[in-house]
Amino acid sequence: NAGVTQTPKFRVLKTGQSMTLLCAQDMNHEYMYWYRQDPGMGLRLIHYSVGEGTTAKGEVPDGYNVSRLKKQNFLLGLESAAPSQTSVYFCASTQPGPSGQFFGPGTRLTVL
């Protein structure tokens, strides 16, 4: 039982390049989330999904797109990376009801 995994762990992009971050969970959770973590700002919700085939915007969605074609996977895309998107990205998942979120190990992204 791997929990929540993220690929890749590190990535360096040039401004304007695109990339996709992959999140996978093996706990059969319905809900999945993408956050970004910046110093002094805690974690901020980018997008989330409440089930396969559904996505919704969070607090800071601009510049990102997501897809949830399979229940266990949640992809975060950057179409044209900007230096302001330099951050650590965390994926999380949970089930409906009284439980906390389970987090992945994070992806450290640098945009030059």
Partner 1 sequence: AQSVSQHNHHVILSEAASLELGCNYSYGGTVNLFWYVQYPGQHLQLLLKYFSGDPLVKGIKGFEAEFIKSKFSFNLRKPSVQWSDTAEYFCAVNGGGGTSYGKLTFGQGTILTVHP
**Residue ranges in contact with partner 1 by CB under 8 A:** 31, 33, 35, 40-45, 48, 50, 56, 58-59, 90, 92, 94, 96, 98-106
Name the minimum Å distance from CB 83 to partner 1. Answer: 22
Q: 3 or 16, CB closer to partner 1?
A: 3
Kindly state the smallest distance separating residue 100's Cβ from partner 1, in Å. 4
**Residue number with CB closer to partner 1 (20 or 103):** 103
Q: Residues 6 or more apart from 108 whose CB is under 8 A from it?
A: 9, 10, 11, 88
DSSP conformational letter for 51: S
Q: What SS3 class is residue 9? A: coil
CB of 80 to partner 1, least distance (A): 27
3-state secondary structure of 4: strand
92 and 45 Cβ atoms separated by less than 8 Å:
no
